[in-house]
Structure 1
Amino acid sequence: MYKRRRLGENSLFLFPSVILTLVLGIYPLIWMLRYMFYDYAGYGSALFIGLDNFRRLAGDTLFWESVRNTFVFAGGKLLLTIPLSLLLAVLLNGKLRGRNFLRGIYFMPTVVSTAVIAVVFYNIFNSYNGMINQLLMKYHIISQPIDWLGPKYAMMTVIIVAVWGAVGNYMLLFLAGLQNIPQDLYESASIDGANAGQRFWYITIPMLGPVMQMIIMLAIIASLKGYESIMVITEGGPIGKTEVMYLYLYKLLFPVSTGSPVEQQIGYGSAVGFATAIIVGGITAIYYYSTKKMNKVF
């Protein structure tokens, strides 16, 4: 009787989560899997067209350009975010004056709306009256404004914005990992004559192996799926230089911005969404299986 009652109580607590998962997760997935075989614009009747959406996708140069841009964006973000996050975590894990205040400052971008961050940085990097150009011209570093949002520098600009917004989050995760490393290891290494660099390389890095594996996986997924700040700052422009996969998908399903297709394309958008999910899932799976023995290596 007691076990039956506990089972009923547990089921009652799980019921809301199950309903939300079915309504917001399973049903939309089934809906997308259905409509990717249809020509459907969001209104009227849906016309079954078989694999035509995927044939169109195979020859869609805009989509494949967005895939390339996604890899450039994700790669640049990862190469900057992970080392910076680890460096900040190591510095703020030591006996630094005001470290709790600095932790809060670096973590603050994580809790601020992405749209707000993007608007602020849009004004900072504005080509005509942005703060960056004004400072550089004031101190005679440049003689004329730099078009930070133009074809040459737009991708670099959105990567900088993405790094600024993500560093604090991964810094906090690295801090949690650092605080679980026994201090006795560092003390023993110091007694044996190891300097700070040797302690970091031979103790900190190996002990952070499992945590680093998780952080890198989260960072890969977030980088491949990121598009919000790009949508606000450049809308994928100029001339598609910052168009990433999820932004392209968003424009197909919700054509509300100036850079979107003329009409809503839910059928084709569903096919693009399926292909995008396969790409992100495939890269994540490759990383996971190639690093699942990281703990043994470290």
Structure 2
Amino acid sequence: MAHWRDRWKAYLFLAPSACLTLVFSVYPVLWVFRFMFYEYRGYGTPKFTGLYNFHRLFRDDQFRDALWNTLQFASGKLILTMPIALVLAVILNGKLRGRSLLRILFFMPTVISVSIMSVVFYIIFNSYNGLLNQYLLKFGVVSGPVAWLGSEHAMLTVILVAVWGAIGNNMLLFLAGLQGIPRDVYESASLDGAGAWQKFRFITIPMLGPVLQIIMMLAIISSLKGYEGIMVLTGGGPAGTTNVLYLYLFKMLFPISSAGGPTTQEIRYGSSVGFVIAILIGIVTAVYYFLSRRLNRMHE
């Protein structure tokens, strides 16, 4: 009897969280899944349309462009963020004067709102009166204002801003992994004559394997889902060159401009787009997880 009483106590403690999960997570997913098969613009009676939304999706050039932009953005962000974060973590894990202050400074962008951070960088990268162009012109580096948020520079600019905001969080995760490596291993390697590079290659990287696998998975998901900074900096422009999947979905449900998205709200089609995006991210994550587990088994 006491066993059942304890179990019901556990259920009572879990009930508030379970209710919130059902209301704010499960129900919205079911709601979206329903409207994938209906025509609905936020008013009137939904009309069943079957697989029409998916048929439209696979013919949508803007969706394909957004998918390609997302792959460029995610790849560029990962390629730059992970090595920089790892190097900073290794440096700040050593005996460095003022390392606590440096850790705080590098982690600071993580706690700043993405929107606020993007507004600051918009002021810096503005083509006409931005701070960066002013200094470049002052020192004669360029002969005229550079359109950092336009033409061919837009994607690179939003990637650099995203990297600046993501380095601190990844650095902190790498630091946690580095501090879990026993110091005795490094001391033994030093006695054997190993240098800094040899320690990093043959001790740090292998022993960071499990942590690195998790960090990479989180970074991949975060990169594929990122859109807030792009929305503030370029709005998906110019001509949709920075319009990523989640920004395209946002414009579908909350139309704000015509740059790379519709001008009218489309809940039915947006539901289909959101579902396909979730599937694509799930596939990418599953493939990465499968490959990383297989590599781990090969090295065991």
TM-score w.r.t. length of structure 2: 0.97
Contact 1:84 1:167 in 2 (8 A): yes
Please say which of residues 9-18 and 122-131 is displaced more in the overlay.
9-18
Q: Which residue is equivalent to 2:280? A: 279
Distance in 1 between the 2:53 and 2:194 partners? Answer: 61
How far does the alpha carbon of each residue in 1:213-262 deviate from its partner, in whole angstroms, 9 at most, with x for none? 00000000000000000011101000000000000000001113454422
Unaligned runs of 5+ in 2: none
Give yes or no for the alignment of 1:261 onto 2:266. Answer: no
Distance in 2 between the 1:256 and 1:68 partners? Answer: 22
How far does the alpha carbon of each residue in 1:54-111 deviate from its partner, in whole angstroms, 9 at most, with x for none? 1110110000000000000000000000001100000000001110011011111111
User: For residue 162 of structure 1, what is the amino acid of its counterpart?
Assistant: A
Q: Which residue is equivalent to 2:112? A: 112
**Tell me, what secondary structure is at the counterpart of 1:152?**
helix
Give yes or no for the alignment of 1:241 onto 2:237. Answer: no
Contact 1:210 1:294 in 2 (8 A): no
Q: Which residue is equivalent to 1:101? A: 101
Distance in 1 between the 2:124 and 2:228 partners? Answer: 17
Which 4+ residue blocks in structure 1 deviate beyond 6 angstroms?
none
Q: Which residue is equivalent to 2:124? A: 124
How far does the alpha carbon of each residue in 1:155-174 deviate from its partner, in whole angstroms, 9 at most, with x for none? 00000010000000000000
How far does the alpha carbon of each residue in 1:101-143 deviate from its partner, in whole angstroms, 9 at most, with x for none? 1101111111110100010001100001111111111111111
Q: Which residue is equivalent to 2:141? A: 141
Q: CA deviation at 1:278?
A: 0.9
Q: Which residue is equivalent to 2:75? A: 75
Q: CA deviation at 1:30?
A: 0.7
**Tell me, what secondary structure is at the counterpart of 1:293?**
helix
Distance in 2 between the 1:194 and 1:134 partners? Answer: 48
Report how many residues are paired.
298
Unaligned runs of 5+ in 1: none
Please say which of residues 257-266 and 246-255 is displaced more in the overlay.
257-266
Q: CA deviation at 1:151?
A: 1.8
Please say which of residues 145-154 and 287-296 is displaced more in the overlay.
287-296
Distance in 2 between the 1:136 and 1:176 partners? Answer: 39
Contact 1:209 1:294 in 2 (8 A): no
TM-score w.r.t. length of structure 1: 0.98
Distance in 2 between the 1:75 and 1:255 partners? Answer: 27
* Alignment map for 1:157-236 (pairs within 5 Å): 157-236=157-236
User: For residue 269 of structure 1, what is the amino acid of its counterpart?
Assistant: G
